[in-house]
Amino acid sequence: MKPFERYDSSSDPNYRPRKFEQLIGNSRALEEVLEGVKRVAPTSSTVFIQGETGTGKELIARAIHNASPRRARPFITLNCAAIPQDLLESELFGHEKGAFTGAIAQKLGRFELADKGTLFLDEVGDIPPALQPKMLRILQEQEFERLGSSRTHRVDVRLVAATHQDLAEMVRNGQFRRDLYFRLDVFPVRLPPLRERREDIPALVTHFVESLGRLVGRQIDHIPTETMLALRSYDWPGNIRELQNLIERAVILSDDGVLPNPLLPAGGQRVNVFPTGTTLIDSERALILRTLEAVGWVIGGRDGAATRLGLKRTTLIYKMQRHGIFRPSLDSDAEMTASPSHTPSLSAMSIEGNVKTPTRRECFPGEG
């Protein structure tokens, strides 16, 4: 008898691994992005990728380069947020020996290194206002001077810019030059967060389980359906990077070739086996209970049990009432029951992300 129902990608209508470069996912949202990417890649136009951290901006930038006639030329990257602002100009445009204290040798900037190739500038929203005119000029005229020199150089660079910030909003607030924004925003690509393309999660999980399994030398044969459901319901604030990291942890923690649920805290990470003959109602009750325990009895909010279970907050509260689920009574409950008139009922309580579920004692104060 198999202890777990195995997640079987062949019976999942949403599972179709796709390979455009190494981009996994078949959601409509991702398909739309990739259609645009394929269309713009062969040109030399500037591409502007917007998306939360970990959504795959850098992967898309590489895909654009690899699908372009520049693929045999360099792909150079620079994260503008990772460089101290006073060093950014020299990083981008280079400097001559003696241009400033510490400039002991000539140095080529990223634009020159990317000549005939592609430059991926991440976090362009962090380019300080003083440097924005020079950026505008190189994008418009392909011309610039290294620091400490008046000699003008020309480059042929395809720019892919990215940011997690709302650049249009920064323009409205006067933090970013409008003309530079328009020059970057030639071909915008909006990468949707993972929670807006949950259909991609099974394919991504399967992909990372295989590739990371190979990397750490652990073969996973089973992904319990319950674990896959939990992964699909989670909101992934860190997007695909977070998913990748959690799968790596789960692969390392696995034994018997079964993927543990990495969303449950350590110690409870092994998904319990429901004994055969368990009813659906019992399973639902157990799953709700276990999820509530895992999140410290928080119902609502991004990291709450409702989100993890893929339920509306009110639906979860209703189900808890139906199953008679209450937070176990602890001494620390005193702070919640401090006011004698405060006897919340489940349905009446406004349960926000940081408010915990009431105990049975709080709901039925006369009972025990």
Ligand X SMILES: Nc1ncnc2c1ncn2[C@@H]1O[C@H](COP(=O)(O)OP(=O)(O)O)[C@@H](O)[C@H]1O
Which lies closer to ligand X via its Cβ, residue 68 or residue 90?
68
* Partner residues linked to 147 by β-bridges: 95
Candidate residues 58, 96, 242, 303; the one interacting with Mg ion per rule CB under 5 A: 58
Which lies closer to ligand X via its Cβ, residue 34 or residue 305?
34
161, β-bridge pairs: 48, 121
Binding status of residue 24 toward ligand X by CB under 6 A: yes
SS3 114: coil
Shortest gap between Cβ of 54 and Mg ion (angstroms)?
7
Q: Of 12 and 58, which has the nearer Cβ to Mg ion?
A: 58
Q: Binding of Mg ion at residue 126 (CB under 5 A)?
A: no
* CA neighbor of 326 nearest in space, from 308, 310, 345, 313: 345
Interaction between residue 337 and ligand X (CB under 6 A): no
The residue from 59, 131, 253, 349 that contacts ligand X (CB under 6 A) is 59
Among 5, 22, 196, 322, binds ligand X (CB under 6 A): 22
215 makes contact with ligand X (CB under 6 A): no
Residue 56 vs 117, nearer CB to ligand X: 56
Asked if residue 67 binds ligand X (CB under 6 A), the reply is no
For position 242 contacting Mg ion by CB under 5 A, the verdict is no
Rounded to an integer, what distance in angstroms lies between the CA atom of residue 122 and that of residue 119?
Answer: 10
Instruction: Choose the one of ligand X, Mg ion, none that binds residue 24, judging by a C-beta under 5 to 8 angstroms depending on kind.
Output: ligand X
Cβ atoms within 10 Å of 268's Cβ, excluding its own: 13
Exposure string (b/e) for 243-252, b if CB count within 10 Å is 16 or more?
Answer: bbebbbebbe
Nearest residue to 212 via CA among 192, 240, 236, 235: 240
CA dist 109 and 93 (Å) reads 4
Alpha helical stretches, state H, 41-173: 57-66, 85-93, 110-113, 132-141, 167-172
- 26-55 binders of ligand X (CB under 6 A): 51, 53-55
CB of 81 to ligand X, least distance (A): 11
CB of 19 to Mg ion, least distance (A): 21
User: With respect to ligand X, which residue has the nearer C-beta, 45 or 53?
Assistant: 53
**248 or 362: whose CB is closer to ligand X?**
248
Which does residue 54 bind out of Mg ion, ligand X, none, counting CB within 5 to 8 angstroms by kind? ligand X
Distance CA 244, CA 205 (A): 8
Q: Which residue has the tokens 């990728």?
A: 49
Least Å distance, CB 20 to ligand X, is 9
- For residue 262, give the nearest of 240, 231, 288 by alpha carbon: 231
Least distance (Å) between residue 57 CB and Mg ion = 5
CA pair distance 80, 125, nearest whole angstrom: 8
Contacts of residue 101, defined as CB under 8 A and 6 or more positions apart, other chains included, come to none
**Could you tell which of Mg ion, ligand X, none binds residue 26, using a CB distance below 5 to 8 A set by kind?**
none
Distance from C-alpha of 227 to C-alpha of 270, rounded to nearest angstrom: 10
Binding of residue 336 to ligand X (CB under 6 A): no
Per CB under 6 A, residues contacting ligand X are 22-25, 51, 53-59, 240-241, 244
